[in-house]
Each structure stands twice: as C-alpha cells, then as structure tokens.
C-alpha cells in the first residue's frame, strides 16, 4: 500500500445532511448580516479617506530635507531626500550584514504537505457518498505545517517548530537629510533586492552555530547535510536588503522627525514612497489605492452576502435531493436566485451608505439600485407564475 496516497470513502445519510444544512443556517445568517455591516463600514471608510486626502492635498507644503525650519512645526510637509543609515544592519543569528536600511531573512522549511481531492455522488434517498484521496509530498514552506492534522500523521511527521524563523532587521539611525525617520515610516520602506550569501559567510555561520550550514545556488543559505537531497526539517534561507536611496515623504513635521498628520476627525496622513515623487503624484497614488481597496471590499461584501444566502437556503436542495437530479436542479436554481438577490441588495446598501455621506452622489446611485431590485423582483414573479 502506498502510504503517500490514501483513498477513503465515506457515506452521509439524508438526515445527517439535513442536520448539517440546518446548522449552516446560523452561519449563513451571520454572514448575511455581517455583509451589510462590512459594506456600510467600507463606504464610510472610503469617503473619509477620500476627504482626508482631498484636504491634505490642499494643505501640504514642500520643504527641503536638508534644513529644519521652526515655522513648519506641526504642518503637513512634503520632502524628497536620500534615506541613509548610520551603520550597517546585521542578522544576529547568522552574522550576515549589509550596508542597507533594512535586512530581511526569509526562511523556508522542508516539510510534508497534504493535499485533498474529493468527489461526491448523490445517492437515491438523499444520501451522499464521498471519495477522498489524501496525497502526501515533501516541499518547501515558509510557514509551519501542523502534521498532527493530517489524515495519516504517523508516516508524515513534521517538526513542532522552525529552528529559525523569518525576521526583519532595521539599521540604527535612519534619517533623511536633517530629519530622523520614525519606525512607522521605516516600516513603509520595501524596496527589497536579493542579498546573496557568500561561501565564506556560510562557513562563518556554520562555525558560529556549530551546525551544517552551506550556500547553494543563488546565494541561498542551506541548513542541513545535503542541499541536493534535503530532509524534513532542513532549512533554506534567503536574504533581501533595502538599500539607501531616494524617498518621498508626506507627514506632519514634529521637531527633528515626523508623525501622522491629523485632518480634523476624518483621519491621518503619513506617506512614504521609495523614489522621487511630487506631492501631487503621491496623493494621486494614494487615491488610486483607496479606490482599489474600496472595490475589493465591495466584492468581499457581495460574496459574503451571496454565500450567506446559499447557506440559508441550502436546506431546500438537501430536502429535494431524495431524488438526486431534482436536488441538483433546485440547487442550481437557488444559486441563481441568490445572485439575483445579493447583487441588488449590495447595490442598495452601497447607495444608502452614500446617501448618508454624500447625498448628491447617493441619490442617483440609489435610484439605479432600486431599479435593479424592481427588475429582479419582476423577473422572480414572472418565473413563479410560469412555475
């Protein structure tokens, strides 16, 4: 028997499926109601952020990075300059250094991974037969895989922890011209490039750690006996660095550093981009990011509402699945119905949120949404009459 491929067949009775479907209604209601909260909060967040950026773009002043002026204290300022550090940054475990602002250690461990492939068949009488194949293979993973949750953990055991984990190290005294960068702005520096490890550095690390450490292709550090034949628990480690270079900042000037600049009770502004950008360009990028996030959360809200409705109505198709083909037909119809309900409700929720925050835009949006609801209701009534 191949222990790396295990096939299991399980059966679920009609009554058991109905019980699960009824239990799913509770989670479905939570998802359905939660989607309204998410959509409403998202529109408020998007509008407040847009207003914050709008107000900030009208207040910001561009200053020189090389000189601090007391007259700019507490103001929203924009500057371009070279971000540099007072000393190199070092990984204290392996002794890898870089003349950089930040050094990132990315660790992967060779582990067992489980994949599942299931096929479910409806049976006459409403029951289900599910055939699941569990496959096991060794692969590199940046996160610890809990093998105790595997279907067959005895033959596929992973270590309980990683000997060394991923981490980021920051150089001391990072500054731009006459200004020190606070931690919040340093966190925004992400212009990482590979930092290959040399053979000499790997030898030093091996002596320091008294472990089998070597360097493999591409300057990757390997912790284990044989890079060409890794074993479960072996590590491969890549380093990346963020070099000194030009940055653009928009934030509140406070003494010799910066802090988030508050725009009334709307929100705060604290931006850093690697490279040289004008204030207008930075605000435009931030507005585009806000728009993208808004649409992503709108999609998440719509999907939460859709899946909530599917869970709430799933019991109907389960009841009908006593005759398999009837359950499939009803399931498909309920899916289309859920989409027809979730989409207009999502639009109405968004429109009502805009009515509260920006009536001039919310009113036409609400009319469009109401039209969609009316059209969907008309179609549903027509379909019911035909049925």
Per-residue confidence at 367, pLDDT binned at 50, 70, 90?
A: low
pLDDT for the residue numbered 92: 95
Examine the pLDDT at 75 and tell me if it is beyond 80: yes
pLDDT for the residue numbered 129: 80
Q: 221 has which bridge partners?
A: 215, 237
Examine the pLDDT at 384 and tell me if it is beyond 60: no
| Structural contact between residues 85 and 100, judged by C-beta atoms closer than 8 angstroms | yes
- pLDDT tens, residue by residue, 94-105: 999 999 999 999
Helix axes 324-357, 279-320, angle to 10 degrees: 150
| Structural contact between residues 358 and 47, judged by C-beta atoms closer than 8 angstroms | yes
pLDDT for the residue numbered 326: 62
Examine the pLDDT at 1 and tell me if it is beyond 60: no
Per-residue confidence at 379, pLDDT binned at 50, 70, 90?
A: low
| Structural contact between residues 362 and 356, judged by C-beta atoms closer than 8 angstroms | yes
């Amino acid at each position: 028997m191949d222990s790396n491929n295990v096939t299991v067949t399980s059966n679920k009775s009609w009554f058991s499926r109905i019980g699960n479907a009824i239990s799913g209604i509770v989670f479905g209601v939570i998802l359905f109601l939660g989607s309204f909260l998410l959509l409403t909060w998202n529109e408020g967040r998007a509008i407040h952020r847009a207003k914050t950026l709008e107000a900030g773009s009208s207040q910001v002043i561009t200053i020189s990075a090389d000189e601090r002026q007391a007259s700019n204290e507490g103001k929203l300022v924009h500057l371009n300059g070279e971000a540099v550090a007072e000393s190199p940054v070092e990984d204290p475990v392996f002794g890898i250094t870089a003349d950089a602002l930040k050094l990132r250690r990315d660790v992967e461990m060779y582990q067992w991974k489980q994949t599942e492939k299931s096929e479910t068949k409806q049976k006459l009488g409403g029951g289900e037969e599910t055939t699941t194949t569990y496959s096991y293979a060794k692969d590199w993973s940046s996160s610890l895989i809990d093998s105790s949750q595997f279907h067959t953990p005895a033959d596929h055991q992973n270590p309980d922890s990683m000997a060394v984990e991923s981490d980021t190290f920051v150089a001391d005294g990072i500054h731009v011209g006459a200004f020190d960068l606070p931690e919040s702005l340093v966190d925004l520096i992400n212009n990482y490039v590979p930092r290959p490890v040399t053979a000499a550095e790997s030898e030093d690390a091996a002596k320091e750690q008294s472990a089998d450490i070597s360097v493999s292709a591409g300057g990757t550090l390997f912790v284990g006996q044989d890079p060409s034949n890794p074993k479960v628990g072996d590590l491969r480690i890549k380093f990346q660095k963020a070099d000194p270079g030009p940055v653009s900042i928009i934030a509140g000037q406070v003494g010799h550093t910066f802090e988030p600049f508050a725009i009334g009770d709307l929100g705060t502004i604290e931006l850093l981009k690697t490279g040289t950008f004008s204030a207008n360009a930075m605000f435009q990028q931030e507005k585009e990011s806000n728009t993208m996030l808004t649409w992503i959360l709108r999609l998440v809200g719509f999907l939460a509402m859709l899946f909530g409705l599917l869970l709430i109505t799933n019991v109907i198709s389960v009841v009908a699945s006593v005759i398999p083909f009837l359950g499939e037909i009803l399931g498909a119809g309920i899916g289309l119905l859920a989409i027809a309900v979730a989409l207009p409700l999502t639009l109405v929720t968004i429109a009502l949120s805009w009515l509260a925050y920006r009536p001039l835009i919310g009113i036409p949006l609400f009319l469009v949404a109401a039209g969609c609801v009316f059209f969907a209701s008309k179609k549903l009534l027509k379909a019911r009459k035909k049925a």
